[in-house]
Structure 1
Amino acid sequence: MKFESILEETDGFGRYQIALVLLLSIPRITIPCHFLLNNFIAAIPSHHCNISSLGSEGIFGNLSQEERLTVSIPVQDDGTPASCHMFSHPQFHLLSNSSSPSEVAVVQCQNGWEYDNSMFISTLATQFDLVCEKRGLAKASATIFFVGVMAGAVFFGVLSDKYGRRSMLLVSYVSSIVFSVVSAFSSTYIMFAAFHFLTGFALTGIINISVVLSIEWVDTKHRTFMGVFGSISWSIGNMLLAGLAYLVTDWRMLVITVTSPLLLATAMWWYGVASTYYGISLNITGFGLDLYLTHFIYAAIEVPAKILIYFILNKVGRRITQTGTLVLTGLCILINIITPTEYWTFRTVIAVLGKGLSEASFTTVFLYTTELYPTVMRQNGLGYASFMARLGASISPLIMLLEDMWKFLPEVIFCTVAIFSGLIAWLLPETNNTRLTETIEDIEEMRKNPIYFTTEDQNIPLKLPISEDTTQ
Structure 2
Amino acid sequence: MQDYDEVTAFLGQWGHFQQSVFVLLCASVLPNGFGAFSLIFLTDVPSHHCLVPNINMTEDWHQAIIPVEVVNGKLELSRCRRYRLDVVRNLSAQGYVPGQDINLTNLEQEQCVDGWSYSKDVYHSTIVSEFDLVCTEEWKQPFTSTIYFLGVLVGSFFSGQLSDRFGRKPVLFVTMAIQTVFTFAQIFSPSWAVFCILLFISGLGQISNYVSAFVLGTEIFTGNVRVLFSSMGVCLAFAFGFMMLPLFAYFLRDWKSLLLGLSVPGLLYIPLWWLIPESPRWLLSQGRVEEAEDIVKYAAKKNKVEPPQVIFEDFNLPADKTQAKELHSIFSLLRTTNIRNTSFILCLVWFSLSTGYFGLSLNTSRLHADPFISCFISAAVEVPAYISSWLALRYLRRQLSVICVLLLGGVSLYFIQLVPRGLSYLSIALEMLGKFGITTGTALMFAYTAELYPTVVRNTATGMCTTVSRVGSCIAPFLLKLGEYFKYLPYIILGTLAVVSAFAAVFLPESFGQPLPQTIEQMHKRERIKCSFITRKGHSKPVTLFESQL
Aligned counterparts of 1:84 and 1:100: Cα–Cα separation in 2: 20
Aligned to 1:162: 165
C-alpha contact (below 8 Å) 2:399/2:505 kept by paired residues: yes
Matched, 1:283 2:283: no
Q: Deviations over 1:400-434 (max 9, x none)?
A: 11223322221111111111112222211111111
Aligned AA (2:68): V
8 Å Cα contact 2:178/2:204 also seen in 1: no
Residue among 217, 220, 225 paired with 1:217:
220
The residue that corresponds to 2:78 in the other structure is: 82
Deviation at 1:204, TM superposition (A): 2.6
Query: Quick one: which amino acid aligns to residue 250 of structure 1?
Result: D
Pair 1:429 & 2:432 matched: no
The residue aligned with 2:37 is 36
The 2-side partners of 1:253 and 1:195 are apart by 17
**Alignment of 1:445 onto 2:448:** no
Once the 2 structures are TM-superposed, how far is the Cα of residue 47 of structure 1 from its aligned partner?
0.7
Distance 1:420 1:96 in 2: 56
Q: 1:316, CA displacement in angstroms? A: 1.7
Change over 3 Å in CA distance of 1:119–1:308 after alignment to 2: same
Distance 2:99 2:509 in 1: 75
Alpha-carbon separation, structure 2, partners of 1:281 and 1:449: 34
C-alpha separation in 2, matches of 1:361 and 1:330: 11
Q: Output the aligned Cα RMSD.
A: 2.0
Q: Distance in 2 between matches of 1:246 and 1:34?
A: 15
8 Å contact 1:180–1:255 — kept in the other structure? yes
Amino acid at match of 2:25: L
Is 1:73 aligned with 2:73? no
Q: CA deviation at 1:326?
A: 1.2
Give the letter for the 1:217 counterpart: I
* TM-fit CA distance, 1:184: 2.2
Q: 1:223 to 1:194 in 2, by over 3 A?
A: same
Which residue number in structure 2 is paired with residue 192 of structure 1?
A: 195
Identity of aligned residues (%): 27
Task: Establish whether residue 268 from structure 1 lines up as the match of residue 272 from structure 2.
Answer: yes
- Unaligned ranges ≥5, structure 2: 278-353, 531-550
Partner of 2:321: none
Aligned runs of 1:400-411 on 2, under 5 Å? Answer: 400-411=480-491
1:69-468 equivalences under 5 Å are 69-70=63-64, 72-77=65-70, 78-88=74-84, 89-90=87-88, 91-92=91-92, 93-95=96-98, 97=100, 100-230=103-233, 231-272=235-276, 274-447=354-527
User: Is the contact made by 1:33 and 1:241 (CA closer than 8 Å) also made in structure 2?
Assistant: yes
The one-letter code matched in structure 1 to 2:250 is: Y
AA matched with 2:363: N
**Cα pair 1:288 1:344 within 8 Å, conserved:** no
Cα distance change, pair 211–248 in 1 and its aligned pair in 2 (3 A): same
Asked if 2 retains the 8 angstrom alpha-carbon contact of 1:46 and 1:116, the reply is yes
Give deviations 1:193-232, integer Å, cap 9, x for gaps: 1111111111232111001011111113322111112121
Q: Distance in 2 between matches of 1:321 and 1:328?
A: 11
Aligned in 2, Cα 1:261/1:83: closer, same or farther, shift over 3 Å? same
Question: 167-176 vs 305-314, which deviates more?
Answer: 305-314
Give secondary structure in 2 for the equivalent of 1:259.
Answer: helix
Amino acid across the alignment from 1:303: V
Give 1:67 shift.
4.3
User: Counterpart of 1:421 in 2: which secondary structure?
Assistant: helix
CA distance in structure 2 between the aligned counterparts of 1:111 and 1:202, rounded to whole angstroms: 39
Unaligned runs of 5+ in 1: 451-472
State how far apart, in whole Å, the 1-side matches of 2:77 and 2:529 are: 70
Aligned equivalents of 1:449 and 1:298: distance in 2? 36
SS of equivalent to 1:426: helix
For residue 259 of structure 1, what is the amino acid of its counterpart?
S
- What CA distance in whole angstroms lies between the structure 2 residues aligned with 1:291 and 1:271? 38
- Tell whether the 8 Å contact from 1:7 to 1:218 is kept in structure 2 after alignment: no
Q: What does residue 346 of structure 2 align with?
A: none
CA distance in 1, matches of 2:528, 2:408: 33
Change (3 A) 1:142 1:431: same
The 10-residue stretch of structure 1 (371-380 or 336-345) with the greater mean CA deviation from structure 2: 336-345
User: Counterparts of 1:150 and 1:424 in 2: how far apart (Å)?
Assistant: 23
Distance in 1, matches of 2:263 and 2:232, equals 22
